[in-house]
Amino acid sequence: MKADLRYEKEVRASSAYRTVESDIRRGEMSHAYFIVSEDKDAVDTLFSLIAMRVYCDTVCKECKECRKILMRSKPDVKFLAEGDENFSVEEMSALTEDAGMTSFEGGAKLYFFKNFERVSEAAQNKLLKTLEEPYPNVHFILSAANTGSVLPTVLSRSKQVLLTAFPAEAIREGLIRSGVEEDRAERGARIGQGSFTRARILAADEDFSRHVSEVTEMVCGLKRSADVRGYLKSPIFSKERFPATLSILEIVLGDAVNAHLGLPLVLTESAKEIGEIAEMYTVAALGAALDVVLTCRIRLKANCIAQNVADYLMLKMVEVKYKCR
């Protein structure tokens, strides 16, 4: 059985994988890595590839070791902080204790953290001791969408690895290979900003054109703070659609910058609305608004209430529009 790894070819070619792979090949795998990336789909695949590479030179996906990793049934390889819940200090205590014990199968022990941003500060501090005095043959591979909530000491004790944006063509091919229809893959790749996760979500958006119109309509209609209230109940801010709304908003604001600079637009079909937004916002205001979007993304991931985030988003957008005239 050959298990399917999403975007395997593209992630294997990434500098992040090649860096870690070459460390393993030279027998110099670091006791801790830190991978900063919002692209959780790519991180999933990267983790599986690294884990297989530790136990199998060719990452064949077919031998006993590879299969155990793909089935998540190897006791010495743990995948942690994969969901939305916070990783507590108690869990970290149990884990660091576990790390100090001999491995089940006599080889290396690996601990992967997908959402390290979900690990509390106290739990990070707990891990820090283990990072400072590493156990032989025990490796931590940590990843977070951003380093805002990561202790600088954790970062400085880890080898930092960059998972850079993927080229649009690689995303298009990867999406098609994973079963996405061609025209949708094309759209996702065009607007996914180098992220497989973002591209996949946008490619799957059933009502993409309508969603874009709703977002541009909100931005155009947001003239003063009194207007915020009218949009709070808009379906674009529902819990399910909010993340895609933020991605679209980023593209819209980026396109307004393009309009200012006379560069080609990504959303060609919304040229009229983009022009209107470019008239409302200066380039500086658009830059500030893009920062606001980023903050909202972090707040949503931290499980803030959607309506509060929407309120903050729109009030801040009005504010930067006036501030950066």
Contact footprint for Zn ion (CB under 5 A): 56, 60, 63, 66
Residue 139 · residue 158 · CB < 8 Å: no
For 142, phi then psi, to 5°, come to: -105, 145
Residue 9 to residue 267: CA distance in whole angstroms: 29
Nearest to 86 by CA among 242, 301, 308, 294: 301
**Residue 10 C-beta: closest distance to Zn ion, Å:** 20
Determine how many CB atoms are found less than 10 A away from the CB of residue 13.
Answer: 13
For 171, phi then psi, to 5°, come to: -65, -45
56 versus 298: smaller Cβ distance to Zn ion: 56
Residue 109 · residue 138 · CB < 8 Å: yes
Residue 201 · residue 191 · CB < 8 Å: no
Residue the block writes with tokens 């200012």: 260
Nearest to 169 by CA among 154, 188, 153, 197: 188
Question: Which residue minimizes CB distance to Zn ion?
Answer: 56
**Residue 74 C-beta: closest distance to Zn ion, Å:** 12
59 versus 99: smaller Cβ distance to Zn ion: 59
Strands (E), 13-114: 32-36, 77-80, 109-113
**Residue 69 C-beta: closest distance to Zn ion, Å:** 9
**Residue 77 C-beta: closest distance to Zn ion, Å:** 13
17 versus 87: smaller Cβ distance to Zn ion: 17
**Residue 66 C-beta: closest distance to Zn ion, Å:** 3
Residue 78 to residue 140: CA distance in whole angstroms: 10
**Residue 75 C-beta: closest distance to Zn ion, Å:** 17
69 versus 123: smaller Cβ distance to Zn ion: 69
CA distance readout (Å), 108 to 142, 211, 233: 16, 48, 52
54 versus 66: smaller Cβ distance to Zn ion: 66
Residue 202 to residue 208: CA distance in whole angstroms: 7
**Residue 30 C-beta: closest distance to Zn ion, Å:** 22
49 versus 310: smaller Cβ distance to Zn ion: 49
Strand 109-113 to 159-162 pairing: unpaired
32 versus 66: smaller Cβ distance to Zn ion: 66
Residue 51 to residue 155: CA distance in whole angstroms: 21
3 versus 94: smaller Cβ distance to Zn ion: 3
**Residue 60 C-beta: closest distance to Zn ion, Å:** 4
